[in-house]
Amino acid sequence: MTTLRMPAEWERHSATVMIFPERPGSWCNGGAAAKKAFAEIVKAVSAGERVYVAVSPSAYEEAKNAFAREIESGKVELWNYACNDSWARDTAPTFVYSDGKLSGVDWSFNAWGGDYNGLYRDYAADDAFAGFCCSRLSLGHIDAKPFVLEGGSVHSNGAGVLITTEECLLSRGRNPSLTKSEIELGLKKFLGAERVIWLPWGVEDDETDGHVDNICAFCSENSVLLGWGGTKSQLKRCKSNLKVLKKAKIKVIKLPFPAKPVRFTAEELSGFTYEEGEITRSAEDNLAASYVNFYICNAGVIVPQFGDKNDRKAVRILSKAFRGKKIIPIYSRDIIVGGGNIHCLTQQIPE
Amino acid sequence: MTTLRMPAEWERHSATVMIFPERPGSWCNGGAAAKKAFAEIVKAVSAGERVYVAVSPSAYEEAKNAFAREIESGKVELWNYACNDSWARDTAPTFVYSDGKLSGVDWSFNAWGGDYNGLYRDYAADDAFAGFCCSRLSLGHIDAKPFVLEGGSVHSNGAGVLITTEECLLSRGRNPSLTKSEIELGLKKFLGAERVIWLPWGVEDDETDGHVDNICAFCSENSVLLGWGGTKSQLKRCKSNLKVLKKAKIKVIKLPFPAKPVRFTAEELSGFTYEEGEITRSAEDNLAASYVNFYICNAGVIVPQFGDKNDRKAVRILSKAFRGKKIIPIYSRDIIVGGGNIHCLTQQIPE
């Protein structure tokens, strides 16, 4: 039998995969603000490992100029591939060791819900991106299709334990014909999980149907950072999650959400261009801002900042949770405007 | 056990996959001449079935204008996907019925030889194209990777018999660790072949290491059109092929090659731009022009023409071989300048 292991994010990386922000329905006003934040993230990650940035032929020159120095020094490498959107966490492969060999798991990707509640209709290039990555990297390719999963919906402690959310994995837009235990079997089969901890809920208003990577993340083999607080109904969700984690004997460190809700500005709202069948944005939308969407890379732990009074508190808590790691705060409001955050933009390739 | 069948090309198609000619190292002078011939082929095919044309974001508007009427009437549909080159025969899936369900076989693609003698180095988007097609078409996906094969290197009679060439399938740039019988097992496993006829040779100077689709093609379950003539050494190749076909009890109809060799003009040669590591063109190159590279679609049989004295003869022979089918001659010198021909540009999706 094949032995599979999904490493923890803090294990040493050989590189990180990212995707240049281009989609006009996600990145308003030509992505100008998002591209600045994106470049800051790329540069922070590339201080400790190579960053592969997939970019469409149309934006190739722009990306080449944006990362000219990093490309010259070999820290950044551009990949010619036109994705539908930029969430490498969800469209790049999930990397595992398969009998000791680094391989990419290639899930079905259906834009977070397909015909049921997907965010856009034409996601075929995104769906093919994991296969492209395996080919580009000359790695093993584990074909998990037609099993639908996004990388942002699972976290691994590196030792056989996964956390995920029922809200997302049991949503009707993913694998409606599979039962919860069949889905758990899929996680065992493709990620080598020995134990799956099912949190009931993600963050309210999260377009991903509650990805775990916005609500709860391992910081060691046996402890997690758990998003905590928010609205009354969000707090209720957090409490249900806490109950499950306690029962699973996982140590919980609470991480507050930003104190003030993040909403679109009028200028942002007028700067989106949508495809047919794409979800549109409105002034009432709450953006699913969360400090849990940090990214652990060789250079340190990159933490989203929103210009909120809890920004510093989040940095302090993470400093304690990741002793010895550098904490790198990056202002990423212009990324959450696109629907996700720093963790969603990145996918680590273990060494 | 799964039952697999690879239909013959003349079985009814639901559609054809093609890829807009963009690569500057294959399509000289911005592809101007090639795009005209390409459009003619698309229009001919689309008279009898839908044509999917994959196009990069940078050329999307150009393709939209080129096929405005066909797109409006639903005969052509553009796919937003940036391939490395345009040979859908080799990079789109090979379609089979798997237990009666239409599915795409996704081979490893390494630009006709990888590090050994591939034509370009960055072929990851081409390699991922088959996966993209399966996803875009919501078809079954049969992962044949890491087995290296191109669609142009096999022809099926629809009844379990495949023809291929040793020159290509046993070339060192494909599956060097597999023996001939292991490769044959691969054809049986992924294409449901019951019998494989191994011709020794393809066409001399063919950049594909002698794809069968340039030298020999089925025109019925038990008969083939075999490229015949050319230089002394080419004729020797043809005779070896004939011997194998006779022994296999396949009826052979000889099809001449163009009488005059096709070579690059100076204007063409100065109009290529190459990537690092890409094979370059020179005035001495013989282009592998062959009438065998025809394409059988619902609308008829589309035959390459070169402005050669054998053009009409080829049309006459095909008219007899495909009684009842319309023969559609298209001047395609500007396609062979890119390295392949009409069959290489197309991949049929059976109904």
Cβ atoms of residues B13 and B298 within 8 Å:
yes
* Six-digit token string for B47: 């008279």
Distance CA A86, CA A82 (A): 10
Pick among A135, A145, A148 to test the B interface (most B CBs inside 10 A):
A135
Residue B316 burial by Cβ neighbours in a 10 Å radius (0-12, 13-18, 19+): exposed
Residue B1 pLDDT greater than 80, yes or no: no
* Six-digit token string for A291: 């400090």
* Six-digit token string for A286: 């709450």
Residue B1 burial by Cβ neighbours in a 10 Å radius (0-12, 13-18, 19+): exposed
Query: What φ, ψ does residue B345 adopt, rounded to 5°?
Result: -80, -15
pLDDT value, residue A2: 82
B294-332 pLDDT per residue, tens: 999 999 999 999 999 999 999 999 999 999 999 999 999
Instruction: Look at B82 and A81 and tell me if their CB atoms are within 8 Å.
Output: yes
Distance CA A226, CA A243 (A): 12
pLDDT value, residue B95: 98
Cα–Cα separations (whole angstroms), residue B121 to A208, B244, B306, B341: 37, 35, 30, 22
Residue B206 pLDDT greater than 90, yes or no: yes
Cβ atoms of residues B105 and B94 within 8 Å:
yes
Helix (H) or strand (E) holding A256: strand A251-256
Residue window 105-124, chain A: list those with CB within 8 Å of chain B. Answer: 106, 108, 122-124
A127–B contact, CB cutoff 8 A: yes
A35-76 pLDDT per residue, tens: 999 999 999 999 999 999 999 988 999 999 999 999 999 999
Residue B105 pLDDT greater than 80, yes or no: yes
Kindly report the pTM of this predicted structure.
Answer: 0.86
Distance CA B260, CA A319 (A): 75
Distance CA B152, CA B290 (A): 14
Residue the block writes with tokens 């009437």: B73
B291–A contact, CB cutoff 8 A: no
Distance CA A325, CA A9 (A): 13
Residue the block writes with tokens 């996803």: B135
Q: Of B332, B341, B46, B31, which Cα lies nearest the Cα of B213?
A: B341
Strands B223-228 and B251-256, how do they pair? parallel
Query: What φ, ψ does residue A11 adopt, rounded to 5°?
Result: -70, 155
Average pLDDT, chain B: 96
pLDDT value, residue A245: 98
DSSP, res A6 = -
CA of A347 vs chain B CAs: smallest distance (Å): 18
Active-site residue (options: A83, A134, A238, A344): A344
Is B297 a catalytic site residue?
no
Cβ atoms of residues B121 and B217 within 8 Å:
no
Other CB atoms within 10 Å distance of the CB of residue A233 = 10
Mean pLDDT of B68-74: 97
CA of B135 vs chain A CAs: smallest distance (Å): 6
Residue window 292-331, chain B: list those with CB within 8 Å of chain A. Answer: none
pLDDT value, residue B212: 98
Domains, chain B, in order of start with CATH, read 4-350 (3.75.10.10)
Distance CA B205, CA B216 (A): 16
Half-sphere exposure for B196 (CA within 13 Å, toward CB): 23
- The residues, ordered by sequence, that sit 6+ positions from B129 with a Cβ below 8 Å of its Cβ are A128, B19, B54, B81, B83, B91, B92, B109
The 3-state secondary structure of chain B reads: CCCEECCCCCCCEEEEEEECCCCCCCCCHHHHHHHHHHHHHHHHHHCCCEEEEEECHHHHHHHHHHCHHHHHCCCEEEEECCCCCCCHHHHCCEEEEECCEEEEEEEECCCCCHHHHCCCCCCHHHHHHHHHHHHHCCCEEEEEEEEECCHHHCEECCCCEEEEEHHHHCCCCCCCCCCHHHHHHHHHHHHCCCEEEEECCCCCCCCCCCCHHHCEEEEECCEEEEEECCCHHHHHHHHHHHHHHHHCCCEEEEEECCCCCECCCHHHHCCCCCCCCCCCCCCCCCECCCCCCCEEECCEEEEEECCCCCHHHHHHHHHHHCCCCCEEEEECHHHHCCCCCHHHHCEEEEC
Cα dihedral sign for B331, B13, B207, B20? positive
Strands B161-165 and B195-199, how do they pair? parallel
B220-243 pLDDT per residue, tens: 999 999 999 999 999 999 999 999
Distance CA B344, CA B152 (A): 6
Cα–Cα separations (whole angstroms), residue B100 to A101, B5, B322, B351: 35, 8, 27, 11
The ipTM assigned to this model is 0.74
pLDDT under 50: residue ranges of chain A: none
B20-36 pLDDT per residue, tens: 999 999 999 999 999 99
DSSP assignments along A219-230, one per residue = EETTEEEEEE-S
Structural Rg of chain A based on CA atoms = 18
A180-196 pLDDT per residue, tens: 999 999 999 999 999 99
Q: Which residues pair with B96 in a beta bridge?
A: B103
Other CB atoms within 10 Å distance of the CB of residue A121 = 15
Taking CB atoms and an 8 Å cutoff, what residues of chain A touch B57?
56-58, 82
- The residues, ordered by sequence, that sit 6+ positions from B301 with a Cβ below 8 Å of its Cβ are B294, B295, B318, B322, B325, B326, B327, B328
pLDDT value, residue A1: 72
B24–A contact, CB cutoff 8 A: no
Length reported for chain B:
351
- Closest residue in A to B61 (Cα–Cα): A58
pLDDT value, residue B295: 98
A146–B contact, CB cutoff 8 A: yes
User: Does residue A43 sit in helix, strand or coil?
Assistant: helix
CA of B254 vs chain A CAs: smallest distance (Å): 40
CA of B149 vs chain A CAs: smallest distance (Å): 15
B20–A contact, CB cutoff 8 A: no
Pick among B52, B80, B84, B135 to test the A interface (most A CBs inside 10 A):
B135
User: Does residue A53 sit in helix, strand or coil?
Assistant: strand
- The residues, ordered by sequence, that sit 6+ positions from A189 with a Cβ below 8 Å of its Cβ are none
Pick among A132, A148, A190 to test the B interface (most B CBs inside 10 A):
A132
Residue the block writes with tokens 């592969």: A52
Distance CA B171, CA B12 (A): 33
B277–A contact, CB cutoff 8 A: no
pLDDT value, residue B2: 82
CA of B328 vs chain A CAs: smallest distance (Å): 33
